[in-house]
A = this chain, B = another copy of it.
Amino acid sequence: MIDPMDVLWILAHPEPRSLNGHLATEGQRALRAGGHRVEESNLYAMNWNPVVDTAGYAHPSAERFQVAAAAKRAHESGAVSADIRAEQEKIERADTIVIQFPMWWFGMPAILKGWFDRVWHQGFAYGLRGPNGEWIGYGDGFLAGKRAMAVVTMGGPGWLFGERGIHGAVDDLLFPLQHGTLFYAGAEVLPPVLVSGADRFTPEEGEAAAEQLRGRLLAIPTTEPIAFRTQNGGDYGQDLVLRPDIAPGLAGLRAHVA
């Protein structure tokens, strides 16, 4: 018997009649049929504003706008704009976050990037909150205890995103999201659901992708997260650089996975 999950599903695709639309519908249906609760932020349908601006944090335009500090102040005084606050309340209600998007220019569509830019701000997702008022992050952030999983469609064939494929290995391309954003804020990050060849999908391939997705979604409670190294787990020194005896000789993004 698995406890029901409270899933927040972030979707960033302009076309409901797309493969992404199909996968979102089928994935959410499978979760609900499995007894889980799903709340959705369909960013295109919501006409989400992805641009960080003074209005989001009630910052007076006469004063110099320092984004992180302004967001933190607005957070503390309850002045964050209603659209941002509504997303944060969804995050607070969820124990599991699914982030679904088509890979555009090897990253998130702007509407989704700006969801993180605006919602995931200092004071809400990260900041000072250690036992001695110290900065926390990378496994110890404010969203600790939640799980997150990316669902990503890619236009080209999968081998182009393989270990030596010309586009670069997909795990490395997703590092800024999975490590730098989700794990930074404390979430356990599950291996992504990857759907390649999305440009030319037959209905049968779409159904196979949906079947893979359903299986991964229902297995979230028992799936092992990516073993990113935590900030305070002993692998990094005081300077937050990997200690010499950890993954010796290894450089680049892979060094940050145990």
Interface residues of A (CB under 8 A from B): 14-15, 17-18, 44, 50-54, 64-68, 104-111, 113-114, 116-117, 120, 138, 155, 159-160, 162-169, 172-173, 175-177, 179-181, 199, 231, 236, 239-242, 250-256
Contact = CB atoms under 8 A, between A and B. Distances in A.
12 contacts: A14-B65, A18-B64, A44-B51, A50-B111, A110-B111, A110-B117, A114-B114, A138-B166, A160-B240, A165-B242, A172-B253, A173-B175
Contacts of A172: 172, 175, 252-253
Q: Sorted from nearest, which 7 A-B pairs have the closest CB atoms?
A: A110-B114, A106-B176, A106-B180, A50-B110, A163-B251, A164-B242, A15-B65
Contact of A117 (B105, B117, B231): B105
A113 B242 CA distance: 30
B240 A15 contact: no
Contact of A236 (B18, B114, B163, B166): B166
Contacts of A240: 159-160, 165-166
A60 to B, nearest CB: 12
Contacts of A239: 159
B15 A64 contact: yes
Contact of A241 (B106, B165, B241, B255): B165
Given A68-B199, A172-B172, A175-B172, A110 B52 contact: yes
Contacts of A113: 105, 107-110, 113-114
A165 to B, nearest CB: 5
A90 to B, nearest CB: 19
A179 B168 contact: yes
Tell me which of A18, A51, A138, A255 has the highest count of chain B C-beta atoms within 10 A of its own C-beta.
Answer: A51
A57 to B, nearest CB: 11
A140 B254 CA distance: 30
B65 A251 contact: no
Nearest to A19: B66
B173 A176 contact: yes
A109 B67 CA distance: 12
A138 B256 CA distance: 28
B65 A163 contact: no
Given A176-B107, A240-B160, A155 B254 contact: no
Tell me which of A106, A110, A117, A177 has the highest count of chain B C-beta atoms within 10 A of its own C-beta.
Answer: A110
A106 to B, nearest CB: 4
Nearest to A176: B106
